[in-house]
Amino acid sequence: MLEAIGLQKTFQTKAERVFALREFTYAFPEKGLVFILGKSGCGKTTLLNLLGGLDVPTAGQLLYNGEDVAAFSARRREEYRAAHVGIVLQQNNLFFDLTVRENILFCAGEGADPEPVARQLGIEELLDRRINELSGGQAQRVTIARALLQDADILLCDEPTGNLDAATGEEIFRLLKELSADRLVVVVTHDRQSAETYGDAVVRMRAGKIEQTMQADGSGGEACAEDEP
């Protein structure tokens, strides 16, 4: 389980000290889909970077199964990231003139097999196509396949549908929902409606802090507490 306790991140620029994350405390579930909402600049990407071990907080703890990732050495943090974390970004960071297969395998170890994960994401027919021969939604599936290849138990997605049309975005959210049956999926989005439709929990941030958290009600999954009269 992943638990953030008082996570803080400041950046020192020439002119000032920026509080990107002021105080973020939240216990993420082991599995499920958690959405992070909030205005641009409120600290969402900073938070994902900390959760993924890509960056270290200036204060606070990030407990993964009780161990503080924030206190790990750089090497141990890299091991944590490699073993547990998959990352999906808005700009998909794929190599456009390589094939789907080559892209999925790009960071994978010797002998990795792209087929099971490609099948899971419905892109097995596309393995030998180049990225520039895919639609935006297909390309985003490739990014997710790459992130999942190492069997990540934490999938972090930073505005994964930001460059997609609404219908394709919806497809990706449904896919992330499916994937969250077996792992924790944390998704930053501006799409409040999808967050409330698909999220098991929604965290709304403001100025580096949590403004509100909403838990989907277990029964139907459609309503978030905030929507109740």
Ligand X SMILES: Nc1ncnc2c1ncn2[C@@H]1O[C@H](COP(=O)(O)OP(=O)(O)O)[C@@H](O)[C@H]1O
**What residue ranges bind ligand X (CB under 6 A)?**
11, 13, 18, 20, 38, 40-46
| Sheet containing 154-158, strands listed edge to edge, beginning at the edge strand earlier in sequence | 67-68, 59-64, 2-12, 17-27, 209-215, 201-206, 32-37, 184-188, 154-158, 85-89
Cβ proximity to ligand X, 129 vs 206, nearer residue:
206
Q: What is the nearest approach in angstroms of ligand X to the Cβ of residue 44?
A: 3
Cβ proximity to ligand X, 21 vs 100, nearer residue:
21
Measured from each CB, the residue nearest to Mg ion is 45
Q: What is the nearest approach in angstroms of ligand X to the Cβ of residue 19?
A: 8
The contact mask relative to Mg ion for 100-129 (x = CB under 5 A, - = no) is: ------------------------------
Region from 36-44, 67-75, 179-187, 213-221 binding Mg ion, contact rule CB under 5 A: 36-44
User: DSSP H helical segments within 92-219, as ranges?
Assistant: 100-105, 115-120, 136-148, 166-179, 192-198
Q: What is the nearest approach in angstroms of ligand X to the Cβ of residue 20?
A: 3
CB-based contact 15:74 (threshold 8 Å): no
Using the rule CB under 5 A, which residue among 33, 36, 45, 224 binds Mg ion?
45
- Residue 139 burial (10 A CB sphere; 0-12, 13-18, 19+): buried
Should residue 180 be labelled a site residue for Mg ion when binding is judged by CB under 5 A?
no
CA–centroid distance for 126 within its chain: 24
| Pairing of β 184-188 and β 17-27 | unpaired
Q: Hey, how many other C-beta atoms are within 10 angstroms of the C-beta on 84?
A: 21
Region from 41-49, 64-72, 193-201, 215-223 binding Mg ion, contact rule CB under 5 A: 41-49
Taking the chain, what is the end-to-end CA distance rounded to the nearest angstrom? 32
Q: What is the nearest approach in angstroms of Mg ion to the Cβ of residue 44?
A: 5
Residues that bind Mg ion (CB under 5 A): 44-45
